[in-house]
């Protein structure tokens, strides 16, 4: 009986905590996202007068929004340990980031672990499935200039054309530095069986912890951002911009969850899982080592995901990633967020929401 009561007490606490977290996040979204949109609406004259200043301000507010999402996991004890190369050294250089995809929590993890990488978060562009356009964060991503891609053979060719046009129009004009994509094209659990059948049919490696990546978006990004940036050409939303050196790095990011249990967005929202450490491994490749021709690039990209398979297999067997060549042990780094800064960001969001509520209420009373 005592055990039953103890279990009921723990369940009640989990449910209460989940309700409290959901309520806080609901109001957090209700004040932060509209405030972001209204601030940028107010700053539209600046966009015409000084486009670079406008997108600088937008990027700062975008980073703050992602910091709010990060704080949801942080206060629940969901932290990140980093392995491999230190990407902070190239945070001001242009890079394409390729990531394995297991769940919706992968995006939240990246939002968290990139917060301390200089200006990366405010100058990055995301490629994501088109369904995210219809989420609460979709309007923010649309304004920021992220690209929503439709999956499936029926849309593939058109989507690659749209992606190229999108990059030419928005990537340079908004001073983007990093572009993040998930080459697998979907969650591991949904694509694994299809990928393994394709691999068997085409005598390709059998993968369990990742799937074979798709080439299309990666090829378009490399061709577009490496070739056109050499002469500084930009899209129609440009204004006055600095010339770019083009993509200089490909950053291979491998996300690993303890016991191979991916963390999804529901876990971040409700916080019902005990404190968990997500492990993120980085590998940097200079762009000159990355082939541009489709066939060679396919082989190169497949090899990266074979390496991811090996990294994840080692992690799930040992609890750590393998050491770099020539070293006996792999060094890890605990990624941290400043709680004071997070509190300031959240306070600014709620203060902004209160201010805009009063402004809109006053305008409504004046008009009606």
Question: Model confidence over 167-185: pLDDT tens digits?
Answer: 999 999 999 999 999 999 8
In a domain, 24, yes or no: yes
What is the four-CA torsion angle of 321, 322, 324, 328, rounded to 10 degrees? 120
In contact, 133 and 148? CB cutoff 8 Å:
yes
Question: What's the chain's average pLDDT?
Answer: 88
In contact, 160 and 140? CB cutoff 8 Å:
no
pLDDT at 350 over 80: yes
- The residues, any chain, with a CB within 8 Å of residue 230's CB and separated by 6 or more, are 246
From the centroid of its chain, how far is CA 66? 9
Please name the residue ranges forming H helices in the chain.
2-42, 44-49, 51-74, 105-113, 138-144, 153-166, 188-201, 216-227, 265-270, 294-318, 339-367
- Per mean pLDDT, which range of 36-45, 95-104, 225-234, 348-357 is the poorest? 225-234
In a domain, 2, yes or no: no
Burial class (CB in 10 A: 0-12, 13-18, 19+), 36: buried
pLDDT at 224 over 70: yes
pLDDT of residue 243: 58
pLDDT at 242 over 50: no
In a domain, 278, yes or no: yes
Total number of domains constituting the chain: 1
The helix/strand/coil state of 80 is strand
The total number of residues written for the chain in this structure: 368
Instruction: Identify which of 202, 194, 196 has the alpha carbon closest to the alpha carbon of residue 153.
Output: 194
Q: Is the dihedral of CA 339, 340, 345, 349 positive or negative?
A: positive
In a domain, 236, yes or no: no
- Per mean pLDDT, which range of 53-62, 262-271, 327-336, 351-360 is the poorest? 327-336
In contact, 22 and 16? CB cutoff 8 Å:
no
Instruction: Identify which of 336, 286, 345, 353 has the alpha carbon closest to the alpha carbon of residue 122.
Output: 345
pLDDT of residue 238: 42
Percent of the chain with pLDDT over 70: 92
- Mean pLDDT calculated for residue range 298-309: 95
- Using CA atoms, how far residue 224 sits from 9, 92, 155, 176, 312, in Å, is 57, 20, 20, 14, 31
| Residue 5 confidence class, pLDDT cut points 50, 70, 90 | low
| Residue 228 confidence class, pLDDT cut points 50, 70, 90 | very low
pLDDT of residue 230: 41
In a domain, 237, yes or no: no
In a domain, 239, yes or no: no
Question: Model confidence over 6-65: pLDDT tens digits?
Answer: 666 677 777 888 898 999 999 999 999 999 999 999 999 999 999 999 999 999 999 999
pLDDT at 241 over 50: no
Instruction: Identify which of 162, 143, 152, 94 has the alpha carbon closest to the alpha carbon of residue 123.
Output: 94
Cα–Cα distance for residue pair 352/354, rounded to 1 Å: 5
Full residue range of the structural domain in which residue 347 is found: 10-231+245-367
Instruction: Identify which of 42, 72, 136 has the alpha carbon closest to the alpha carbon of residue 345.
Output: 72
Percent of the chain with pLDDT over 90: 67
In a domain, 306, yes or no: yes
In a domain, 240, yes or no: no
Question: Model confidence over 73-125: pLDDT tens digits?
Answer: 999 999 999 999 999 999 999 999 999 999 988 999 999 999 999 899 999 99
12 vs 243, more confident: 12
């Amino acid at each position: 009986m005592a055990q039953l009561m103890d279990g009921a007490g723990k369940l009640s606490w989990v449910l209460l905590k989940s309700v409290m977290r959901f309520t806080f996040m609901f109001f957090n979204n209700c004040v932060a996202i509209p405030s972001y949109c209204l601030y940028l609406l107010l700053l539209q004259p600046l966009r015409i007068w000084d486009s670079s200043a406008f997108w600088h301000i937008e990027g700062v507010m975008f980073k703050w929004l992602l910091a709010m999402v990060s704080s949801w996991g942080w206060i629940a004890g969901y932290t990140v340990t980093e392995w491999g190369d230190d990407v902070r050294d190239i945070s001001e250089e242009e890079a394409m980031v390729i990531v394995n995809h297991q769940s919706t929590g992968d995006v939240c993890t990246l939002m968290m672990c990139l917060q301390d990488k200089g200006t990366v978060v405010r100058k990055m562009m995301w490629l994501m499935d088109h369904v995210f356009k219809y989420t609460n964060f979709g309007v923010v991503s649309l304004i920021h200039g992220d690209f929503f891609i439709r999956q499936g053979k029926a849309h593939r060719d058109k989507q690659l054309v749209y992606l190229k046009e999108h990059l030419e129009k928005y990537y340079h004009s908004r001073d983007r530095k990093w572009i993040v994509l998930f080459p697998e094209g979907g969650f591991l659990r949904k694509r694994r069986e299809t990928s393994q059948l394709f691999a068997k049919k085409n005598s390709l490696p059998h993968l369990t912890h990742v799937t074979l990546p798709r080439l299309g978006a990666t090829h378009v990004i490399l061709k577009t951002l490496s070739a056109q940036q050499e002469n500084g050409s930009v899209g129609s939303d440009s204004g006055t911009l600095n010339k770019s050196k083009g993509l200089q790095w490909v950053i291979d990011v491998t996300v690993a969850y303890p016991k191979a249990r991916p963390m999804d967005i529901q876990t971040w929202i409700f916080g019902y899982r005990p404190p968990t450490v997500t492990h993120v491994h980085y590998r940097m490749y200079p762009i000159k080592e990355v082939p541009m021709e489709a066939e060679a690039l396919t082989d190169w990209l497949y090899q990266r995901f074979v390496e991811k398979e090996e990294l994840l297999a080692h992690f799930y067997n040992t609890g750590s990633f393998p050491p770099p060549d020539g070293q006996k042990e792999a060094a890890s780094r605990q990624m941290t967020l400043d709680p004071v800064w997070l509190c300031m960001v959240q306070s600014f969001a709620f203060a902004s929401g209160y201010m805009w509520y009063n402004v809109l209420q006053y305008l409504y009373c004046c008009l009606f």
